Structure 1
Amino acid sequence: MKNRIKELRQEQHKTLREVAEAVDTYNQNISNWERGKSEPKLATWQKLADYFGVSFDYLVGWED
């Protein structure tokens, strides 16, 4: 399963810093999540989905 954080970030022309600030975390965390090295907590997944304007299921790759 591949999450869509990087895809959405690039489509929306957002920097790592912008996304990190929006969900109250560090740039490195966003980078690690994009590369699958770690995963955000459930509440952060939801913040990311809200930020990008997509469903949780879409963000985590469960639906198209």
Structure 2
Amino acid sequence: MKKDFGDSIANNVYEYHVLARMSQQELAEKDGVSKQTIFVMEKGNFVPTLLLAFRIAEFFSVDVKDIFTYEKGNDQNYNLVYVRYP
């Protein structure tokens, strides 16, 4: 069973396409997705793939962290293990 940690990704896609005076449809066409994808992403009901997140950031010429923000959930029952590779 997949565990839900309550993590999420917040985004500023709406703000960026409005400031650029673009419609959702125009942004969708530039990024190769549907208008519905942009709509549900803006509403927080869809987390984009890394590829799409980077494509959107590249389109607006900003760092991906300027548009997408990781929000840690409240689950205290896990620890992340970081492995360093040579």
More helix by share: 1
TM-score (structure 1 length as normaliser): 0.88
Percent identity between the two aligned chains: 23
TM-score (structure 2 length as normaliser): 0.67
Per-residue Cα deviation, 1:29-56 (whole angstroms, up to 9, x for no partner): 0000001011111000000001111101
Please list every run of 5 or more consecutive structure 2 residues that lacks an aligned counterpart in the other structure: 1-8, 71-86
The runs of 4+ residues in structure 1 deviating greater than 3 Å are: none
Higher CA-based Rg: 2
Please list every run of 5 or more consecutive structure 1 residues that lacks an aligned counterpart in the other structure: none
Give, as a single letter, the amino acid of the residue that structure 2 aligns with 1:39: V
Give, as a single letter, the amino acid of the residue that structure 2 aligns with 1:53: S
- Cα displacement (A) at 1:2: 2.7
More strand by share: 2
- Cα displacement (A) at 1:58: 0.8
